[in-house]
Structure 1
Amino acid sequence: MFKTMTLGEISISAYDTAWVAMVPSLNCPDYPQFPNCLDWIINNQLPDGSWGDRELFLAYDRMCSSLACLVALQSWSVGHSNIEKGLAFVHENIFRLHHEVDDYMPIGFEVVFPTLLDDARSLGLDLPYDSPAVEKFRQAREKKLKRIPMELLHSRPTTLLHSLEGLHRIVDWERLLRLQSENGSFLFSPASTACALKYTGNQKCLDYLNLVLGKFKDAVPNVYPVDLFERMWVVDRLERLGISHYFENEIKECLEYVFRYWNNKGICWASSSDVSDVDDTATAFRLLRLQGYPVSSDVFNHFKKGSEFFCFEGQTSQAVTGMYNLYRASQIMFPGESVLEEAKSFSRSFLLKRKSENRIQDKWILSKGLKDEVNYALNNNWYESLPKIETRNYIDQYGVEDVWIGKSLYRMFLVNNDAFRNLAIENYNFCQSCHKREFSQLLRWYGIQRFQSLNFVPASAINTFFLISATLFEPKYSDARTVSTMCSILATTLKGLFHSVIPLEDLKQLASAARRWDPRILESSSKDIKHVFSILYSTVDTISQRAIKAQGRDISSYLRNEWRKFIESLLIEAEWSFNKYCPKLEEYFINAKITTGLRPVMLATIFFMGEKINENHFQHSSFEQALDLIALLGRVKSDVHGFYNNSSRNQNRLSCVSLYHGENPKRNAVEVFGHFESMMDETMKEIVKEILQTSNLPKQWTALVLRMTKTINFFFNKLNGSLPSFSHMSPYADLALFSTIGYQENIQDCTTQKYLFPDSLFMKKV
């Protein structure tokens, strides 16, 4: 499929084919230049007498396409029976234009439709010229023509070049030839270019149409090429369907192709365009930035007028999908990118207004899932949307039969197809079966290690696997999921231990044992201390042994050192509490970022994500900075949530909120909360910038940081900072872990997946 990507795969347009068929021969004007297009029109009339999309009836599309085909046939006095049937269709269905939704009106319809009627009248075709529907669009045409800056049209490239056939009687064709695209077209429109060829006989117009017909044989699409559009939307679909990991090399090639044509004024659907639009620009910006390409947000200043954003210069209405993709792009924000702040605010307000009006419908696509897509985006910010949950939703939203709206209806075969949908379903169900197996193994490990006997460990700790599996859901991350879950449960257990009533001296002994990595130091310690260290000791040892296979070297010193630092930071916090010491906020943060437990979890996980991690990576400043920022985010999220949402016991516990309020006593609760909201927002932007602008770190480290950031935000924003008990599994967890999609006979059994962690790991006694 990807190997065939050139200038784009797109469906045929009867409307544009008709305009090509109207062109007289450059050598013998009494005959058509493209007789095969006339034959196509004759042979592709639909049973009801119309022309247009065969599967979907949209009155705009059928009426305009039919009129164009009738004019083409009458121009050459051929297809008399076709003309008779076509005229009958128009007479019988012209009223339907009154009942169509304005949002679904094709590009330039109000200009082109009356023009075609004038052409038909001049050819003597019997049509309902006095119909109320006709009068409605004549008035709309006159109104629009008064707004069209004709001098601007002739002086520089605008979107009006795409619909010149609707203006063919009033434009200066010789002047317009200066605005041809490099490939000879007028903004890649076969209809517009055919009309120009008819009036000028221009060789470049002819070359373009021959190029298009060389690809599509006897007919043409409504726009060509669509090389950037196709590549961007294919990548977008693959990522949202959760199957991008099967096409990593192909996606890289697609994005390199798109980046080759990126410029500071934006891009559009075709690589050689001098006109740009916010829909394609926003999609390219988001896809490229997330892969580390250097793209500047300044590009969006070209789509901003005052406080508003537009898709095309001079547009008369706003498209839902254009604002939807702008909203998605605006969230991939670096610090100081005010234009993205403005774009996010504007696009979100627009989408919310459309939602309140029940008008989530678009002028560029007829999509079964658009309403749900927009709702999901409005309800789930990018930085809190877990990949597997997003995929599960999008599989339902993905429309194989989605139809795009240009000057006529069209389909993008590589963007919407059964192959992608079926692979997505099969992959999702395969992942489910693997996750269930891993969850079963972890339950056994959890039981054998007797976590349930430790009364300071929440019963829901095992449900951590839900968050991990919804974040690192791909099959290749099986061992990373296992390690991450085990380490997360260990971190939760240690925090619970230090927050319990264990004597400080026992906690100091635990820290000493961790420092020397020697359980014999704990011979005189309490049962709980011994139990917890025993779990930590054996689990870290097992992970270290398995990492030798994954990394080809011993990583035990890294893991032990991180757990030592984590335990020592918890001890510092315990000593502060015991001594009733109140640190300064800066001192608190230095220690508190470590007490989140994110460092030992993430540094263990990265060793099992498929890339070799070496000493240079750990010493890279951006590596450490990313860890520091994500730990800061986790700490502030936890403290703010604990202070404002939990019990008075948690409000009395040391936190950044209480310390900040103590240092700023004149600030009220709202101001304090606002301060930390702003801090979390800026920290998110800094994380995104740090991880996406550093090119010499492992790709999987970038993936892990971004996904763990999403996990933190999801945990506090969606789960209210707590996992439900096992008997009250979150509906998110039920969706992500247990609900399959349909029935697939050919799903590969998950036992064929190679795991570094065999069942014996989970049967090991401590």
Structure 2
Amino acid sequence: MPWFLMESSLSSIQALVSQIKQEILSNFNPSLFISPSAYDTAWLALVPCPNSPRSPLFKGCLNWVLKSQKEEGFWGGVGGDGLPAIDSLPATLACLIAIKKWGVGEQNLKKGLAFINSYSEMLFKVKDDKFPRWFAIVFPAMVELALENGLEIVFPKGLEAVLSNISLERQRILQTEELVDNYQFAPLLAYLEALPFSCPVHEEDIERNLSEDGSLFQSPSATARAFLATGNLKCLDYLKTLVAKHPNGVPAMYPIDEELVSLCMVNQVQRLGLAEHFTKEIGEILEQIYRSYKEQEKEATTFNLAITKIYKDSLAFRLLRMHGYNVTSRSFCWFLYHEEIVAHMERNYEYFTSVLYNVYRATDLMFSGEGELEEARLFSRKLLEKSLKLTNINDNVIMFANFQKIIGRSIDHELSIPWIARLDHLDHRMWIEENQVDTLWIAKATFYRISCLQNHKLMQLAVENFEFRQSIYRKELEELNRWSKDLGLSEMGFGREKTTYCYYAVACSTSVPHDSVARLIVAKSAILVTVADDFYDMEGSLEELQTLTQAVQRWDGRGLTGHGKVIFLGLDNLVRGVATKYLHRQGIDITEKLQNMWRETFVSWLMETTWSKSEYIPSMEEYLEIGMTSIAVHAIILPASCFLSTSSPSYELKTSPYETITKLLMVSTRLLNDIQSYEKEIEVGRKNLVMLHQIENSRVGIENSISYVRDILNSKKKELLEHALIDDLGDLSKSFRHFHLSCLRVFQMFFNSSNVFDSATDLLHDIKRAIYMPLEYNISKPLNPLKQYPSQPVEKGSYKIQACVIKAINYKSKRSIIRQQFSISSSLRLGCQKVVTPMKPNFRFI
């Protein structure tokens, strides 16, 4: 991209950032980030005006229903693939009932009924008999109510068994569960609007379970039904407050946990790669969250709110720890000590996939000695793997629908490639391309969604920001290729040519695109290390290597020839360039410090080569002391760390002894290399910690030696993570510490499950996606896969639902139903005849 286009792109990004700060963050309104629930909005639209029963009390809700029908005729959630989610069936029925009640929207009715006929088969296409609890409760009730209100519900032929199973599941639930069961995420009473006549609900049951704000389990739909049944003024006040706060469609739960919305916003901004633009705003939000977090840490949690709290606490833990706050694992692992909660999640894992996903992600930031996090990680991983297996066997399982297809890809990505082995830039790309769905979890009767993506400008900023980075990366890579070629480093004729690999790794491991100097120093240093290391390992004679090492010690290349001369001239060019830049910026000459760092690195390479050629076997301690220097990560990262800030140095260069975090990085990267490279090094006769452990412990197999080294590595990585993240462990700058963490993630990426650094092809696709390939996301033209399912007229093979009434249940409670006040016919009927006496618990077809 030409410079003038890059300037234009940067100006556009800055303008969007300013607009978002002014419109969203300066006067933060959580309601902007809550997706409306068509199901709950329809129930509020059903409430008549007390003084004028022929008019809706909440006209805005009715208008929202009329205006919010999708082109294909449905209301409710849409998955990331553009297809309707399973909650679209009860949501569509509820909206049709509201429209029918008030005698409006004839075209809306026709389109909605056509949708049910045309698309229900696609939504019900299942291969087992298990249906989610919420759907089994709500869907039959909406069919019943639709029939009462004179709607002709027609399902396509072939769904008899599916619908019968739903009815049977509903009957089982009503027979076995208490009205208010402390061991259900949403008790039966929370589905008040969906309970049949046979369910004995007394007015006192409702009033006893109302919250102080007048809601019934924070459910707008259940509270609307409670008001219709009882006329309770607290319920009415709740509904009025709700509509005042959310005039454009009400959410599935209210009141909103504003802290949870704030956390979700920060999470979205980070995952979209935009955190650099909102550092101050994110800091202020997290500071407030931390204060509240500490106050709530000891508060007890009721079972019904436990799942929401786990989601919130795990998200808060990850974000706070990532931003330097010293939070304990107990702050979200508390649920492990509640057997009922753990058992409930194990039984119903498919409903809490996104909660478990966030628990698992929180455990990425595990420090040494945090056994609770280990347990939480194993627990969440086990259930997430079960979720993926179920999805893979049957992508159309009703409980997952389209939501699970999207989050399933994220879960698979999370489980197969650990966070510490992924590069930020590619994660941002995935989140931009995949994040067309914003579901958190399945709420009472719909998907509960919190999203920043409802703001079009935020998504536009994410796309422009990613593309701007790509343009910077392409420009810098061209510059780096010229440098490497001009010095002869890319054309040595032996070893590995890794110019692109080296640049890709450093550029994509950090989300800040403007530290060009630091990025190029790391890339150049890594290129030089790769070439020199290969020369010492495979090309140079012992005499040539001794001559080169001596030249580096005196920093004088006279007398060098061939490859040794090229390497020394490249090294001198790099050191002089870095020292000159630092002298220009800070007025301090660091040439000697840079040279000393490289001197010890070359000595370590010569030592390892001497061991190999003389067949000397060092002890593991002796090897590791040399090996943590020969990996050369300190020579790669420390000079660049001086240039992380454009205004002042973030780190004053020092040589051995190094900072604790640097030493942890040196040993961790050495161990990562050794675990994946021992077979290659056996072939060339070089030493390796895995091999040395087996030599010193001759009775153990190679797998035991690998496990031994991996255990040391895991311990060192946890220590490094703690030093990198927690602010109060020292006086090193956050940018310096995070730069170390980024470097660890690069090495983890290279040596995660194999040695991809040595592969000529393994990273090529990722490099293309990171630097060259345009995003596969179109803001202005979202995908609409429903186009492939055109609405069809009702065929002769279709059937009508004549009745869907559940057999009377003998409840454990002996309280009688409120026949007049609680009856659907008394408040919602549209003049049709009352449902006939209860019949067998299934659907009848014509």
**TM norm structure 2:** 0.73
C-alpha spacing 1:46/1:481, structure 2 compared with 1 (3 Å): closer
Residue of structure 2 equivalent to 1:495: 533
Counterpart selection for 2:768 from 717, 727, 734? 734
1:359 aligns with 2:395: yes
Structure 2 CA distance for aligned equivalents of residues 222 and 46 of structure 1: 17
Find the residue that maps to 1:247 and give its secondary structure: helix
1:235 aligns with 2:271: no
Residue of structure 2 equivalent to 1:485: 523
One-letter code aligned to 2:41: T
Residue of structure 2 equivalent to 1:211: 241
Contact 1:365 1:405 in 2 (8 A): no
C-alpha spacing 1:615/1:281, structure 2 compared with 1 (3 Å): closer
Spell out the pairing of 1:257-406 with structure 2 (5 A cutoff).
Answer: 257-262=288-293, 263-264=296-297, 276=308, 278-298=310-330, 299-302=332-335, 315=348, 317-336=350-369, 337=371, 338-343=374-379, 345-359=381-395, 363=400, 366=403, 369-399=406-436, 406=443
Find the residue that maps to 1:222 and give its secondary structure: coil
Structure 1 CA distance for aligned equivalents of residues 288 and 187 of structure 2: 24
C-alpha spacing 1:292/1:730, structure 2 compared with 1 (3 Å): same
One-letter code aligned to 1:739: M
Which region of structure 1 is more displaced relative to structure 2, 282-291 or 254-263? 254-263
Counterpart selection for 2:722 from 679, 689, 692? 689
Structure 2 CA distance for aligned equivalents of residues 49 and 443 of structure 1: 52
Q: Give the Å deviation of 1:238.
A: 3.2
Spell out the pairing of 1:401-416 with structure 2 (5 A cutoff).
Answer: 406=443, 407-408=445-446, 414-416=452-454
Residue of structure 2 equivalent to 1:189: 219
Contact 1:49 1:82 in 2 (8 A): no
Q: Give the Å deviation of 1:302.
A: 0.9
1:112 aligns with 2:138: yes
Q: Give the Å deviation of 1:348.
A: 4.7
Residue of structure 1 equivalent to 2:463: 425
Structure 1 CA distance for aligned equivalents of residues 750 and 299 of structure 2: 36
Residue of structure 2 equivalent to 1:710: 745
Structure 1 CA distance for aligned equivalents of residues 676 and 77 of structure 2: 55
CA RMSD of aligned residues (A): 4.6
Deviations 1:480-522 (A, max 9, x none): 2200011112222332343356566765665555455x42xx5
Counterpart selection for 1:250 from 273, 281, 288? 281
1:626 aligns with 2:626: no
Contact 1:471 1:707 in 2 (8 A): yes
Paired-residue identity, %: 24
Deviations 1:164-184 (A, max 9, x none): 433596445546656555654
One-letter code aligned to 1:449: L
Which region of structure 1 is more displaced relative to structure 2, 345-354 or 164-173? 164-173
Deviations 1:205-242 (A, max 9, x none): 44432222112337523223253454344333333333
Contact 2:472 2:513 in 1 (8 A): yes
Which region of structure 1 is more displaced relative to structure 2, 382-391 or 727-736? 727-736
Find the residue that maps to 1:346 and give its secondary structure: helix
Contact 2:641 2:739 in 1 (8 A): yes
Q: Which runs of 5+ in 1 are unaligned?
A: 746-766
1:536 aligns with 2:564: no
1:669 aligns with 2:702: yes
Which region of structure 1 is more displaced relative to structure 2, 381-390 or 492-501? 492-501
Structure 2 CA distance for aligned equivalents of residues 163 and 393 of structure 1: 37
Residue of structure 1 equivalent to 2:642: 607
C-alpha spacing 1:47/1:693, structure 2 compared with 1 (3 Å): closer
Q: Give the Å deviation of 1:613.
A: 4.5
Contact 1:550 1:607 in 2 (8 A): no
Q: Give the Å deviation of 1:609.
A: 1.9
Q: Give the Å deviation of 1:444.
A: 1.8
Structure 2 CA distance for aligned equivalents of residues 96 and 420 of structure 1: 33
Counterpart selection for 2:43 from 19, 23, 34? 19
Q: Give the Å deviation of 1:467.
A: 2.0
One-letter code aligned to 1:653: R
Q: Give the Å deviation of 1:437.
A: 1.8
Find the residue that maps to 2:757 and give its secondary structure: coil
Spell out the pairing of 1:75-114 with structure 2 (5 A cutoff).
Answer: 79-80=102-103, 86=109, 93=116, 100-101=123-124, 108-114=134-140
Identify which of structures 1 and 2 has the higher relative contact order when contacts are C-alpha pairs closer than 8 Å and 6+ apart: 2
Structure 2 CA distance for aligned equivalents of residues 48 and 635 of structure 1: 58
Residue of structure 1 equivalent to 2:820: none
Residue of structure 2 equivalent to 1:447: 485
Contact 1:467 1:711 in 2 (8 A): yes
Find the residue that maps to 2:218 and give its secondary structure: coil
Q: Give the Å deviation of 1:712.
A: 0.7
C-alpha spacing 1:454/1:280, structure 2 compared with 1 (3 Å): same
C-alpha spacing 1:223/1:107, structure 2 compared with 1 (3 Å): farther
Which region of structure 1 is more displaced relative to structure 2, 439-448 or 507-516? 507-516
Residue of structure 2 equivalent to 1:166: 194
Spell out the pairing of 1:562-573 with structure 2 (5 A cutoff).
Answer: 562-573=597-608
Structure 2 CA distance for aligned equivalents of residues 597 and 365 of structure 1: 47
Q: Give the Å deviation of 1:191.
A: 1.5
Residue of structure 1 equivalent to 2:8: none
Q: Give the Å deviation of 1:378.
A: 3.7
C-alpha spacing 1:531/1:156, structure 2 compared with 1 (3 Å): closer
Structure 2 CA distance for aligned equivalents of residues 317 and 669 of structure 1: 39
One-letter code aligned to 1:140: E
C-alpha spacing 1:207/1:615, structure 2 compared with 1 (3 Å): same
Q: Give the Å deviation of 1:699.
A: 2.0
Contact 1:40 1:218 in 2 (8 A): no
Which region of structure 1 is more displaced relative to structure 2, 13-22 or 594-603? 13-22
Structure 2 CA distance for aligned equivalents of residues 702 and 544 of structure 1: 22
Structure 1 CA distance for aligned equivalents of residues 407 and 464 of structure 2: 23
One-letter code aligned to 2:177: I
C-alpha spacing 1:457/1:46, structure 2 compared with 1 (3 Å): closer
C-alpha spacing 1:95/1:675, structure 2 compared with 1 (3 Å): same
Residue of structure 2 equivalent to 1:222: 252
Structure 2 CA distance for aligned equivalents of residues 510 and 48 of structure 1: 72
Which region of structure 1 is more displaced relative to structure 2, 450-459 or 88-97? 88-97
C-alpha spacing 1:202/1:543, structure 2 compared with 1 (3 Å): farther
Structure 2 CA distance for aligned equivalents of residues 670 and 392 of structure 1: 36
C-alpha spacing 1:227/1:514, structure 2 compared with 1 (3 Å): same
Structure 2 CA distance for aligned equivalents of residues 729 and 91 of structure 1: 49
One-letter code aligned to 1:52: W
Q: Which runs of 5+ in 2 are unaligned?
A: 1-19, 780-846
Contact 2:266 2:282 in 1 (8 A): yes
One-letter code aligned to 1:8: S
Residue of structure 2 equivalent to 1:749: none
Structure 1 CA distance for aligned equivalents of residues 435 and 487 of structure 2: 43
Find the residue that maps to 2:514 and give its secondary structure: helix
Number of equivalenced pairs: 729
One-letter code aligned to 2:40: D
Deviations 1:127-174 (A, max 9, x none): 679995765444322211234344544x99956675343359644554
Contact 1:49 1:86 in 2 (8 A): no
Residue of structure 1 equivalent to 2:7: none
